[in-house]
Amino acid sequence: MLKLHFAPNSRAGRIVWLLEELGLPYEINKMDFHPKALKSDEHRSRHPLGRVPVLDDGDTRLFESGAIVEYILERHKNGGLKPEPSAPEFPDYLQWFHYCEGMVMPPINIIVVNTILLPPERQDPNALGQAQRLLAKALSPIDSALSGRDYLIGSFSAADIMLGHACFMSNAIGCVSDDLVNLKAYIGKIANRSAFKVAINMK
């Protein structure tokens, strides 16, 4: 059985969401989102940087969320969440799948560090402001792409698991402006999916 090493409010939520969408059985090792758990020798033996998610599948171990999503789809169950390479929507699928970590998550990371993780005296308002501006720019093309669509490529796909989770988190930290009406509606659709509710409410 697949075993997921998980901490709340992290990218590990993406993997729970995917597993729930696909109806795959899995086991969870829940850890606190705290250095005492994540930086322990035990967890560093799973992930050299002491982060989550980490997926164990027998003797196979992966610790990068995008790689884990692709691995599950290919090795366990496509489930209709990835178009065939010959499908017309496949290029858009690839673009939005990777846009998440390439364009959206880097500024989110800086914002979270400078508003939540660091004590006030160590926070950098200049870095925070720059990251907020970069995130706003990164979210605008997503809003445009969602015009007339429920999901990124039309139907729900693993690209939504990756980028949709990041959009939800962007909204949670107050970085999705009300004028991004398509994106706001998209985040609402994601939040109402039963599999997403399991993932986001797992503590």
Two structure tokens written together for 85: 């390479």
Phi, psi of 52 (to 5 degrees): -130, 155
pLDDT at 135: 98
Residue range 173-184: average pLDDT? 97
Please write the tens of the pLDDT for every residue from 73-126: 999 987 789 999 999 999 999 999 999 999 999 999 999 999 998 999 999 999
For residues 18-27, average pLDDT: 97
CA nearest neighbour of 174 among 136, 146, 126 = 136
CA 195/CA 28 separation, integer angstroms: 15
- Tell me how far apart the terminal alpha carbons of the chain are, to the nearest angstrom: 21
Structural domains of the chain, with CATH: 2-79 (3.40.30.10), 90-193 (1.20.1050.10)
pTM: 0.95
What percent of the chain has pLDDT above 70? 100
Report how far residue 57's alpha carbon sits from residue 115's, in angstroms, rounded to the nearest whole number: 36
Residue 198 is predicted with a pLDDT of 98
